[in-house]
Amino acid sequence: MNPQIFHPFVLPFVIGMVFVLTYCVVGLIRVISQLPKEDRKKFWRSLVTPKTAWANVRDLVGDCLLHVKIWKRNPILGYMHSAIAFGWFMIIVIGHIMLFALKPLQGVELEGVQRMLPNFYYPIFYKFFATETPVFAFLMDFFLLMIISGILIAVVKKIHSKIVGVKRVTKFGFADNMIRFALWTIFPFRLLAEKTDKMVFWWIYSIDLCIFMFMLPFTRYMHIPTEALFILLRHAGLKPREPRKGYALAQLYSCPSCGLCIDACPMSVNDKNSGNTSAYFMKKLRNGDKEEAQRIAETCMQCGKCVAVCPVSIESCDIKMSQRETVPYQIHSDHSYLDCTDASNASSSSAPVLYFAGCMTQLTPKIMRAMTQIMTAAGEEFEFLDKDGGVCCGRPMLLSGKTAEAQAMMAKNTEFIKASGATKLVLSCPICYKVFKEEYHLEGVEILHHTQYIDALLKQGKLKVGKNDVNYVYHDPCELGRAFGVYDEPREVLENVGNLRKAKSEKELSICCGGSLGSFNLTQKERDEITENSVADLMFNQPDEIVTACPLCLKTFARKSPVAVKDIAEVVASQLQ
Amino acid sequence: MDFGFCLSPSSHVKMDSVDLTTFNRLKETNPDINTCIACGSCTATCTAGNFSEMSFRRILLMLQRGKEDEAKKMIQRCMLCGKCTLVCPRGINIRKILLDITR
């Protein structure tokens, strides 16, 4: 073959590339074939629906190419990742543009496959084969130096992560460390090869690429090709059904183990528990370590903060839930005793507003009293669904992975609500709110948490409150804030009755109180550590009172808070005029 | 006093011969059950207990007496709502124990 278009040193790269491409195609077919039929249909449809297709394009460019989410989270890490990933992408693209624009293969006698082959490796080793033009040479050097600057930051991060604002980094095994080393060395060798034009550097550069490609499918760098597929599947609105199949599998491979979730996780206050974070869960599950994955899934509090900070938007909480569902239980619940009880106070009433306090609110009757006061003052016609104790909403049971058993309780509550004829269901507990919103089918019934309800009453002018000069700080309950984005209503309510101070971490970054029903394994001591950390975060601006909107958070904080902890309903009820 | 017959079946438990495998297994994985003072707070707050005979305090007692079948029957009533764990003055992770028994 013409030495101008071929040299044996390109072979390691070509072999590696063929391997990676084959693996990706096989993986793609595997993931799509594992999707349940209806999910697959949904997926195909989402690709041609304009709305989801646009979201796909936006996120493919924004997340895969420009890494917008990492920039938002931490600009230094954003630059580090963009420099390497976007820079690498650009030198490949410019290489192809050169091949197209400069036509270096013109006039070379080639046939069939031989004609195709150079397209494959030419842009990667362009400097070896081609004469160049100043514009392209400048661009190529610019992006190569950008990549190397990114690698320098990565080296600094590896040596001392606190410099780039990361407290804890993921601990990697042998393969992940090795491929990282291969990645870091690719570009300095490319620079050396291009600048010295010595054969030995061209060989090392090509072999380095080969090592990287052969290790890619078995390490965290598999997120590079998989993330694109994951974005498409995510926008199709799928839910993981099995922890290691289909959609969940795509997520497992999309996790870059970057470890941003480790610092974010409330459990990380205890160093021992930082190993129970999502990054490690995904790794364990991907490696098939079911026992460990199960243990971590059951330790997780399901607060959703890891999902909120994840630069890839991996829904690790959902995968943990599907992992919990795999446990075979020996004894199944039997709630048939509910059939012969009339647990509802509401079935005979015709009030338009139905108030469901929920189990946790039954333990904090002051919230129930405050709500009664508020609704009476607003002149609302209302009825209790569970004045003397009701049926659990079903979310705690769902959290244990016992879906069928939870359905039985949910059916009972649905029956009560439908029988009451109410059009508005007001809940005091965000745990209930989440399950009522997501799992219940209550057509024609508006489901409101009491923060939203009180906010609406104030805005409609049905409720008059006076303002005092107490400084409040508001804690966002996980299942109200992160799950449904109810951030503004409670804050607007509090601004009506007093002064609102900011916590250190707010809204989607709010720290779980530590009482969460999501976790089964955490001991009281471990929970207390989380609570103390969360209280310290809330006390950042020295408020006079901590206000929350969840009875469970209220009870949990009350044990550890130096100031009074109140529910938002109590605060409003005390300021009624 | 033993007449050799009685009107109702005997509830006599022979502590030397009862099978305590479940209880011992539980003690191993959840050592905090040893700290239970049988105060009954769990039972008093129980959501399911409102409609049925469900009582965690009694479940623990039954397991200690080797009455596994009765305990397992009662545990089916549980709604796993977690109020018991929240009110336990000894900080026992009751929800986890209930879940472990059903495994």
Q: Render pLDDT for B54-99 as a digit per residue (tens, 0 to 9).
A: 999 999 999 888 888 888 889 988 988 888 988 899 889 999 999 8
Give domain limits for chain A. Answer: 8-225, 241-248+256-324, 336-456, 465-574
> B81–A392: do the CB atoms touch at under 8 Å?
yes
> Which residues of A lie closer than 8 Å to B, measured between beta carbons?
327, 329-335, 337-338, 341, 343, 359-360, 362-363, 388-392, 396-397, 399-400, 402, 409, 515, 517, 520-524, 552, 555
Residue among B76, B82, B103 whose CB faces A396 most closely: B82
Nearest chain A Cα to B94, which residue?
A520
Three-state SS for A546? strand
Three-state SS for A573? helix
Percent of the residues in chain B that have a pLDDT greater than 70, as a whole number: 99
Residue A405 phi/psi, 5-degree rounding, is -65, -35
Confidence at residue A347, expressed as pLDDT on a 0 to 100 scale: 60
- Best residue of A400, A519, A522 to probe chain B, by most B CBs closer than 10 Å: A400
Residue among A327, A332, A523 whose CB faces B76 most closely: A332
Residue among B47, B87, B101 whose CB faces A392 most closely: B47
| Alpha-carbon distance A409 to nearest alpha carbon in chain B (angstroms) | 8
CA distances from B54 to A330, A364, B35 (A): 18, 22, 21
Contacts of B103 in chain A (CB under 8 A): 327, 329-330
Q: Provide mean pLDDT across the span B21-46.
A: 90
What is the spatial distance between Cα B55 and Cα B43, in angstroms, rounded to a whole number?
A: 5
- Architecture of the domain made up of A465-574: 3-Layer(aba) Sandwich (3.40)
Confidence at residue A146, expressed as pLDDT on a 0 to 100 scale: 92
| Alpha-carbon distance A526 to nearest alpha carbon in chain B (angstroms) | 11
Burial A118-152 (b: 16+ CB within 10 A, else e): beebbbbbbbbbbeeeeebeebbeebbebbbebbe
Confidence at residue A73, expressed as pLDDT on a 0 to 100 scale: 87
> B86–A555: do the CB atoms touch at under 8 Å?
yes
Three-state SS for A502? coil
| Alpha-carbon distance A399 to nearest alpha carbon in chain B (angstroms) | 9
Confidence at residue A301, expressed as pLDDT on a 0 to 100 scale: 92
Contacts of A402 in chain B (CB under 8 A): 80
Contacts of A409 in chain B (CB under 8 A): 79
Sheet bearing A446-449, strands edge to edge: A382-384, A353-356, A424-427, A446-449
Three-state SS for A125? coil
Q: State the ipTM, two decimals.
A: 0.85
| Alpha-carbon distance A563 to nearest alpha carbon in chain B (angstroms) | 21
Is residue A476 within 8 A of residue A487, CB to CB? The reply is yes
- Architecture of the domain made up of A336-456: 3-Layer(aba) Sandwich (3.40)
Percent of the residues in chain A that have a pLDDT greater than 70, as a whole number: 94
What is the spatial distance between Cα A454 and Cα A473, in angstroms, rounded to a whole number?
A: 18
Confidence at residue A109, expressed as pLDDT on a 0 to 100 scale: 63
Contacts of A515 in chain B (CB under 8 A): 86
Residues of chain A below pLDDT 50? 1
Of all residues in chain A, what percent are helix, strand and coil, respectively (each to 5)? 65, 5, 30
Residue among A330, A334, A363 whose CB faces B87 most closely: A363
Topology agreement, domain A336-456 and domain A465-574: yes
Q: What is the count of residue pairs from A and B with beta carbons less than 8 Å apart?
A: 88
| Alpha-carbon distance B6 to nearest alpha carbon in chain A (angstroms) | 32
Residue among A329, A341, A520 whose CB faces B102 most closely: A329
> B79–A360: do the CB atoms touch at under 8 Å?
no
Is residue A518 within 8 A of residue A300, CB to CB? The reply is yes
Of A452, A431, A454, A433, nearest to A373 by C-alpha is: A454
